[in-house]
Structure 1
Amino acid sequence: MTHRAGPVPITVNETGPGTLLPLTGDQVAGLLRVPGLVRLHPAPGGRWRMSGNQKAGLVRLPTPSGGAIQLHLRPKLPVRNLLFLLTYSPDDPWRTQTVTAAEAQNLLPALADLLARTTRRTLESGVLHGYRTIEEDLPLVRGRIRTADQIRRTGLPLPVAVRYDDHTPDIAENRILLAALHRAARLTGIPPRTATALRHLADHLSGVHLLPAGAPLPSWTPTRLNARYAPLLRLAELLLTDRSVQPEGARTTDVDGFVLAMPAVFERFLTLALGDALARHGIRIAAQEQHHRLDTQGRVRMRPDLVLYRAGRIVTVVDAKYATLDTTTAPTEHLYQLLSYCTALGLGQGHLVYAATAGRHATDHVIRRAGITVTAHGLDLGQPPAELLATIADLATRIQGPSALGAPLTP
């Protein structure tokens, strides 16, 4: 009797020159089926140089021959700092607990542990119930008779077509939570103790239907009634966002694992944290807002990361860059991008915010003959959370100051 070997473990850092590895053709084929996870380049001696591609997580990839690769995409940030970025919310009363919950050294076990802790605390007050409209045929009248459906029937008057509101735990919030608990318990690299805790917590959601594999997540609306669930649901949705990875071709390949696109993580955090800081100055942020103001025909579509408004007037524009600003000069393509945004929106200044690994003072780039200044800022994401938020508060003050008059444009 032969035993299939376990998955081949490979660790890749998110940044850096990469690692030389003696990969087989089968392993290379498995990695290439899901493009974008890592960068692969052939090297002398039959080896391959594998480097990170701004992703973090842990996945188990099948290979064409039936083998598997366990790929650990190691983030450049400490797990504690990354968890803070992932779970940050201006109205989250558990922010300090979110930071201290990361006891594991790897991202995925830390996230699973955080999900278990947060779920346990949330359900201490009981499982959330809500009213759901149900239509079914019953041997008795309950709620309201569906008159049109009942009239179309012939023969015996039973069963009765009825519609009623049921007070039930089987609501969108609990379905999302149950799906996240089940998925986290099955992920590769989760300690047995954490997996057991997750399964035990799932047992508390009796009467809640488990979402089928691949089904879209149900929508929910934040209200006063589900406010205590809100931090937990943000974490649950985070664990459910990458349930499959798109390979070459139209078909998706299910992978056992979890992958974060770090540029999206940084942009989301900057939107929330900077938006919270700017709200104190009477400024609101519009994220990924579409504009057609660059050409006179309105054919060119532009979607800046952040457009800032005060009293309906555009104050400035901000673009998030998940890259380290190695010199005092922003890359030319980034300057061109902000120049086009400012030109289209009629602004005299725009801002680039870089996810620097070390603090850096703001640098102004005054564009000749355009009358436009593009300012590059660096955020040290490795700071403790309180210091990072203080830096963002200072950034908000600088951004809203010189451009306070704004441009009289609305989308």
Structure 2
Amino acid sequence: MAGVTRSWRLVLALVCAVAVSTIYAIQPVLEAVGRDLGLAPESLGLLVAAGQIGYFAGLVLLVPLGDMLNRRRLITGHLVLTAVGAAIAAAAPNGVLVAVGLAVAGVFAVVVQITVGYVAAVSSPAERGGNIGAVTSGVVIGILGVRVLAGVLGDTLGWRAVYVLLAVLCVVLAVVVRAGLQSDTRTTGERYGRVLASMGRLVLTDRLFLSRGLIAFFLFASFGTLWSGLSLPLGADPWNFGTTEIGLFGMVGLAGALGAARAGKWADGGRAQPISGWSLVLLAVSWLLIAQTGGPTLWFLIAGIVLADFAVQAVHVSSQHLLTTAHPNRASSVIGAYMAFYSLGSAFGAVTTTWAYGAWGWWASCCVGALYALCALAVWGLARRSGTLCPTVHSGLTRESCAH
């Protein structure tokens, strides 16, 4: 493989951004969807969870194919099927079919992990972290940028318009990838059942993977608590923001997350573990600021969002770097198994934040988010103490370089 050119890094980052947007576009327009379809506020978190549950299923069942089949074909096919799910959501006449469309889109939005696996596989060891960081930045751009897009479209053309647009973009990108991306046909001899079994063994036998998976679960439970619940206090007194204003907060998070794109370079330099530790501390602290939505200003909230998104992206990129370094020959299945923790954590955060907000208000949601961040930090600390932080020596990183 010749590696990944700058132009293809941009295209693949866009693939990740558009695919993951189909899951997260619902968040800034939750109230609008509820009004349009007559859904109770406490049930809205289930729409967010539907996409994450579909995503989890795709991570377990589809991502392992990336270590067996031509990834170019997989990326193309998954983009087309993601477009199908987005189209179902756009045309759905009731909440059940919206959930079905989001679940279908979520299943095939795992094209993100196929793409990251492709990049990891074709990159040289010296460039792997930087390339993963560049492409993964597309995920963050999608997760946060689609909030702005969905907010604006929700106020102008209606919440369904964003899913129409995302479906069209998925089809266009499928054509581009099919026409120009370098093929990576492999003859691994692996069987699908064996690859699935190897993912299960990772959880049971690989202590680095288990610690990073648990960190991802709590990390994205905290992240989901913020972004699945933020529209609720901002749409209520004293702010009463519309979907456009709420969506613009995605730009705030985008600034923090893009600042953490450097984490891939830091990980290449052997600093993945200390980056994870102090980033988790930042995430926990950020909730003290995020809770400040009732005063005369939202500057504290804005600062908290920047810190939180910086921290989440830094930990996420560092984790993927460590795991693909430890398992370079099965990057897709390892990333898929790791992201299963991400998906479950995101769904858990979405459900618990709407429940906590409905019962006690935004301060309760913030307490829940901070608790998840502290749990992730505790897992990191226990793993560091037990010496399971680093890939094994044969993976290419020494324990000394990983731990300094």
TM norm. shorter chain > 0.5: no
State the structure with more CA Rg: 1
Structure having the higher strand fraction is 1
TM norm structure 2 = 0.28
Structure having the higher helix fraction is 2
